[in-house]
Amino acid sequence: MNIEKRLVFIQSELRWWTNYVTKELRVSIQKEELIDTRELLRSLSKEVVMRTNLQSGVAKIIFNDVGRFADQGAGRGYLKGIPLQNNRSANKKGITKRPPIKWYSKNAYGTLNRLMYNFATKYSDAIIEGTKDVLENKLKNQNQHVN
């Protein structure tokens, strides 16, 4: 399989995954009724960046920080790394540690196995097909020269 075909293959799999995860995230945002749901939905976007010199690609899912805070159970005055009983500003405001709402990590990391499976099986199938094409073309060329 030549480099261009590899890049197209990688790009198509990454695009499939980002589309799939983005749809799942939209459903999860609405289901969980997160703070600023509409704003979070508007900020949700995806991007696939190909790196031809490394023959690889990067999939990015982008959204507002509010979504990250909800996923991690941070924000609302709670300072990460400081125990709540020692966090004076949070205590004054009556803030307790909020539980994480796993709308992002559950969906994104939960689908990585599917992406890896697609890469492993489809990529090996594509290599087999590419090898078959090369061999068939050589046989055709040899038969044309003999006739």
Q: pLDDT digits over 102-122, tens only?
A: 889 888 988 999 899 988 888
Q: From 14, 40, 16, select the one nearest 27 (Cα to Cα).
A: 40
CB 72 within 8 A of CB 102: no
C-alpha to C-alpha distance for 131 and 121, rounded to whole angstroms: 16
Tell me the pTM.
Answer: 0.69
Does the pLDDT of residue 68 top 80, yes or no? yes
What is the Cα–Cα distance from 60 to 143, expressed in whole angstroms?
49
